[in-house]
Amino acid sequence: MKLFSSVKDVSDVNQLVSEAIQLKANPFADEHLGKHKTLGLIFLNPSLRTRLSTQKAAMNLGMQVMVMNMDKEGWALETQDGIIMNGTTVEHIREAAGVMGEYCDIIGIRSFPGLKDRNEDYSELIFNKFVQFCGVPVVSLESATRHPLQSLADLITIEELKTTAKPRVVLTWAPHVKPLPQAVANSFAEWMNKADYDFVITHPAGYDLAPEFVGNAIVTNNQDEALAGADFVYVKNWSSYQDYGKILSDGEGWMMTNEKLKLTNNAGVMHCLPVRRGLELSHEILDGPNSLVLNQANNRVWAAQAVLKMCLTQTLS
């Protein structure tokens, strides 16, 4: 695997999930694979779960890890081509990517969208330039439009816990005070479309995701209808794709609560974290038996480890 940026980069999703579950049972079985290999983790935006889980996954495989918080420890990067760099950007992404490719065998990179210019964000300008110029396999640690390691961890979580072959999985929009990227929702939808589930997306009017991500999902603005009989409920805020990057309303009534949980089939409740308690998800759910958020966080390790193992075995060996 030379690139892990989307479910489309995975030839066999079932095999990847199964690999992750095996690694979870036996984390150090492949620690010879990463000997003398270096993973570079580059963050253009803050990270907690992603950095720690990916770092741990790499260490489990015997890799060395170098972390670079570009926004704090490095320089401001220029991404435009052909420009005269007489302003505040100190290094062009062409050189920055090229240099890091010289020092690392695999690179993970995080780059959030600006949420100002939809075309620019959805072209994945920064992520793709990085891939183009670094010359080594690249793993997305969340790009402008996708968060594939999160989605793989989410899929692993459902596969581990589902009690029917084809569970009903509902992605529900939730309120938030800040305009957030669509990346987690897009990515979750993309991966659910690959799984053979009964997949439903619900959100207030105006929050439709891009059609390429919605795929074959059933979409409804009626949350109660969506939740009926759900086995898993994925709660997540995102800003508008149509009225790009905007918050359209305060979303009153959309917070997931125990009351709404009664509509479901005693569903497991998921969230990628960080979560705004009392706003996106109620305290009672997060502190109760239906919450799967720590299961998901734990599975981030095995998702990353399965992906890194694929990179090591299919590209670098």
Q: Can residue 179 be called a binding residue for a second copy (CB under 8 A)? A: no
> Which listed range, 44-52, 119-127, 146-154, 194-202, lies at the site for a second copy (CB under 8 A)?
44-52
Question: Is residue 305 at the binding interface for a second copy, with CB under 8 A as the rule?
Answer: no
Q: Edge to edge, what strands does the sheet with 232-236 contain?
A: 218-220, 198-202, 168-173, 232-236, 268-270
Q: Per CB under 8 A, does 26 bind a second copy? A: no
The span from the CA of 22 to the CA of 1, in Å, is: 19
Q: Is 29 in the site for a second copy (CB under 8 A)?
A: no
Nearer to a second copy, 110 or 168 (CB): 110
- Cβ-based nearer residue to a second copy, 136 or 200: 136
Distance between the two ends of the chain, CA-based, in angstroms?
A: 11
Residue 96 in contact with a second copy, rule: CB under 8 A: yes
DSSP 8: G
What's the rounded Cα separation, in Å, for the pair 125 and 112? 11
Q: 56-95: which residues touch a second copy (CB under 8 A)? A: 56, 59, 64, 66, 68-70, 72-75, 78, 81-87, 90-92, 94-95
Between CA 299 and CA 307, with CA 303 as vertex, the angle to 5 degrees is 170
Q: Which of 12, 102, 252, 259 binds a second copy (CB under 8 A)?
A: 102
Cβ(298)–Cβ(4) below 8 Å: no
24 binds a second copy, rule: CB under 8 A: no
When the beta carbons of 38 and 128 are compared against a second copy, the nearer one is 38
Here the tokens at position 259 are 């009351």
Question: Are the beta carbons of 267 and 296 closer than 8 angstroms?
Answer: no
Residue 9 tokens read as: 């980069």
- Tell me: is residue 283 an annotated ligand-binding position: no
Pick the binder of a second copy from 115, 139, 301, 307 (CB under 8 A). Answer: 301
Alpha carbon separation from 184 to 6, 131, 187 (Å, rounded): 11, 21, 5
Residues making contact with a second copy (CB under 8 A) = 27-28, 36, 38, 40, 43, 46-49, 51-53, 55-56, 59, 64, 66, 68-70, 72-75, 78, 81-87, 90-92, 94-96, 98-100, 102-104, 177, 273-279, 283, 286-287, 293-294, 297-298, 301
